[in-house]
Structure 1
Amino acid sequence: MVVVMTPDASDTQVDAVVSRVRNIGGEAFVSRGVRRTIVGLIGDVDQFRALNLRRMAGVADVIRVSTPYKLVSREHYPSRSTVVVGQSSERPGVSIGPGFFTLLAGPCAVESLDQALEAAEMARAAGASLLRGGAFRPHTSPQAFRGLGKSALRILAEAGAATGLPVVTEIMDAKDIDLVSEYADMLQIGARNMQNYALLDAVGRIAKPVLLKRGIQATVEEWLSAAEYVAQRGNLDIVLCERGIRTFEQATPATLDISAVPTVQRLSHLPVIVDPTHASGRRDLVLPLARAAIAVGADGVLIDVHPDPDSALCDGPQALAGSEIRELASAIRRLAPLLDRRTTEVAAAMVPEPR
């Protein structure tokens, strides 16, 4: 069961709902989104009905939700959600959600300040409104480049400030959450950590948007249940990212499940973007898959860019550069409006002149 609070509900009114539920032995999880606060209830439904929560001050509605992922379910949302990244008193932030098409781009791994700055400028020139980059890099082989850690976070923040782009980066360990939050505007949970429940709990407790990638062997329900972990701890600013799943096919590292986009949009109110880079692992497939993502109604794409892919320390064969980035930018500008999407842009006042 879910209690939907009115947009102007006060903290005192929310606390009163939580107290009433807990007084009868139920559990209540408060999740605050951009436009509304909802309280997820776990316990005896008949007891909850007897509480007559609809009559409490600040309550807009009480809805019984049949799915195991109550807070992220579409059942109690009349429309899909928008997540705003990098919002502050100095800048309006970047919207991800219905009506928008958002490009997130940058280097898979931060290698140096010069590399990160050049990649950030390439991303911005292509129309990206969010800078992604890896500071901590998970790999199957421990011999692979595993990132520069804290120094990479500082570099990303500097590149983001130089280009006016809010920063998205992956967090791998709950113990690093304060450190990563200091530098990043959005925290990414990678495919390998989608079911790292301690990490999901940790990012759910902070006031930062979360980008949650689908695990390579995860079902849609498992993916949405992982999002529910984040939402239960109070954070509803979640963006889902389809990045391919493991199948029998070996032509690509993963098979992009393009059908997952409309499927999840029907089941959940959360925004859904696509990562064609890691699904394909091949530069020549990134653009066709990005076009497919636009056509199927994704809310954005996440793309690797690198100033010199042949010398990249991480995932060079899938990174775009030069003419490929320009072609991607052209495809987004032409195709997104056909689906009534406008591309998100960083506010002009926040974007410095190119170096």
Structure 2
Amino acid sequence: MARVSQDGAAFSFKKIAIPAFGPSILFGIGEGAILPVIVLSARDLGASVAVAALMVTLIGVGSLLSNIPASILTDKYGERWAIVGAAGLSMLAMLLCLLAPNLWFYGLGVLMIGAASAVFNLARQKYLTEAVPLEFRARALSTLGGVMRIGVFIGPFIGALAINFFHLAGAYWVGVVAVIIAGLIALSMPDLVHESSGEEELAAPTLRSILMDHRKIFLTIGIGVLLVGAVRASRQAVLPLWAEGLGLSPSTTSLIYGLSGAIDMLVFYPAGKVMDRRGRAWVAVPSMLIMSISLLLMPLTAGAVTLLLVALLIGFGNGIGSGVVMTLGADYSPARRRAQFLGIWRFLADLGSFSGPALLSGITAVASLGIGVAATGVIGLAAAAMLWYWIPRSPRAASPQ
């Protein structure tokens, strides 16, 4: 359906739906298909349980280390070719994992998957930031985050079907096919026109100057985004760990986790619509408050039913926050060297995602899991307070454009 933006220009989501969102769901399917078998593949190559668990974290490490390089590549070659290149790198990485003769090569493949994810995520965010009018931005980026989650959700089911026929290799072949199709679809993305003068290029800002010029944003809302990443990543570890502590069976735990993920996927578009019409704080703050309260309630649960209720609440809180980090990054990103700004922004979010579970693990080791879960809830309350204080109430107030 075509819509009219505030400057009078017609805009239609249909025109960008397949090239913008198609690769996202396919990347999600590819990642979702291989995630459950990383530990199993590492064990087959002789890894201990601890080393096999470490292999899963290499995706996050690869993404964290590649956000800044990804911004440079996207700025140099453009969004379309960055996405196509990310698809190619992901394909090679999955083939390397499939054919790896030892753990070193396998770990390199997993690390490359994370690096490809960083390039892909940054390029698709930058593309939609510039292709979609500001008044539809949150809906577009929330949908982007939502379809990726849908892909990650259904990927394991497709992978499981392939494993029945081709053993563990089937999951990797699902991933390879998914990212190849994603790259082919990305080739149909229309190029964006970037107007610039020779004088502007001579005075182009550097990463250092972007850090300095926008240091207030990075040290305020940027820290809030880091805390958001920490809470979101921690919740993925908290739920199965607490279920195990309650003595629930693996099948019951999986069902609870799956239902929480299903709720997560259902609410992304309405949340984006609220952000576009009322402002980002109307979703960002409730998202963190709901997740924080849920985490603080989790140590009080005593069985499957109460844990399910808390898990559904966590899924709802996380779901309405789909795309909020990307939307805030898009709002504050400057028109010139937007990719580098978004690279730093994504680095902060990934740093939170990496440090959150580590903090949870550390607190659990010296105290207890219940205290670790409660501490994560307190971090969420801090994130909500920072976002409430710093986010402008109008969506246009944040944008430098």
> Could you tell me the TM-score, scaled by structure 2's length?
0.22
Higher helix share: 2
Q: RCO higher in 1 or 2 (8 Å CA, sep ≥ 6)?
A: 2
> Could you tell me the TM-score, scaled by structure 1's length?
0.24
